[in-house]
Amino acid sequence: MSNRYRLLIETEDKKGLIHQITGVILKHNLNIEQNNEFVEKSCNRFFMRTDLSGEPSRSLFDDLSRLLSSDQVVRLIPKRKKRVVVMATKEHHCLGDLLLRNKYQELDIDILAVISNHDYLRSLTESFAIPYHFVDCACLDRGEHENKTLRIVDSYDCEYIVLAKYMRILTPDFVGRYGDKIINIHHSFLPAFIGANPYKQAYDRGVKIIGATAHFVNDNLDEGPIIAQSVLNVNHTHSAEDMARSGKDVEKQTLARALRLVCDDRVFICKNKTIIFE
């Protein structure tokens, strides 16, 4: 049976690209099983995601490179699960949901470990036979705590870090080290109500919907490229506590959806927004 791959291309747009690229794929005796493409006109960038079967040769990249602009990004990825490390604090709903989905293979992820700055979620994590690392934020200064956390993350050679209600701001050094590989779930429909206590902010404003946003992490708090968002209707009878309780369901569903998209290689980052092939 032929091996299955995913070809991801980002390049400057020009006429005839799809015809030229698919011609190279045919030349290398590869079969296209699914194809998506999009042009972001504001910056003239072409994005393409292609599911392939067959055995690509080493010259595939050379043949593609001759067609594309000098600032091209070309990746050929075997279709497999992505290696993930989850970081958490005290709240269990997002972590528990991911552990269940991981156990029953509902997402294309392999959770390698959970790291937490509190020791609340050890029994939950270890009940799924996943390693749990407690890095006490109360006993270490900020730099020491982050360096110890980084050493643990590095030891797992993960592809993505998921912040499942990790209630601690990461420094630019941490974020820069992992680039666009950190995914956060925020308990608000961004860009509204950033920072702390979003449900109290929402209640005080008398909002009629609440939501959750999964996004990549950058150096600006809660302003990274958005991957997925969901909303839930509320009304004047809902207290801030009611909103927070309902919001937990939205948060875990939104985070799972974002992970499904990212780990299925359906998300491209274009400046500070995303191109998503659903």
Range(s) for CATH 3.40.50.170 in the chain? 82-276
Backbone angles phi, psi at 42, to 5 degrees: -65, -25
pLDDT under 70 in the chain at which residues? Answer: 1-2, 188-196, 199
Question: How many other C-beta atoms are found inside a 10 Å radius of the C-beta of residue 23?
Answer: 13
User: What is the pLDDT, as a whole number, of residue 241?
Assistant: 85
Question: In terms of Cα–Cα distance, which of 80, 82, 85 is closest to 154?
Answer: 85
Which of 3.40.50.720, 3.40.190.10, 3.30.70.260, 3.40.50.2300 would CATH assign to domain 4-78? Answer: 3.30.70.260
Question: In terms of Cα–Cα distance, which of 258, 234, 256 is closest to 245?
Answer: 234
Determine contact, residues 138/111, Cβ cutoff 8 Å.
no
pLDDT in tens, 176-225: 999 899 999 987 655 566 666 776 777 787 878 888 999 999 988 778 99
Determine contact, residues 110/263, Cβ cutoff 8 Å.
no
Name the pTM for this structure: 0.91
User: What is the pLDDT, as a whole number, of residue 223?
Assistant: 85
Torsion sign, CA atoms 174, 179, 181, 187: positive
User: What is the pLDDT, as a whole number, of residue 79?
Assistant: 93
Distance CA 85, CA 113 (A): 5
**Would you report the helix, strand and coil content of the chain in percent, each value rounded to 5?**
30, 30, 35
Q: What angle do CA 216, 219, 225 make, to 5 degrees?
A: 30
What would the DSSP string read from start to end of 138-190?
Answer: TTS-HHHHHHHHHHHHHHTT-SEEEESS--SPPPHHHHHHHGGGEEEEESS-T
For 216: left if phi > 0, alpha if psi spans -120 to 50, otherwise beta; the answer is: beta
Distance CA 205, CA 149 (A): 37
User: What is the pLDDT, as a whole number, of residue 232?
Assistant: 86
Distance CA 42, CA 40 (A): 6
Angle at which helix 198-205 crosses helix 240-263, to 10 degrees, equals: 120
User: What is the pLDDT, as a whole number, of residue 239?
Assistant: 86
Range(s) for CATH 3.30.70.260 in the chain? 4-78
Q: What CATH homologous superfamily does 82-276 map to?
A: Formyl transferase, N-terminal domain (3.40.50.170)
User: What is the pLDDT, as a whole number, of residue 1?
Assistant: 44
Q: Which residues are catalytic?
A: 222
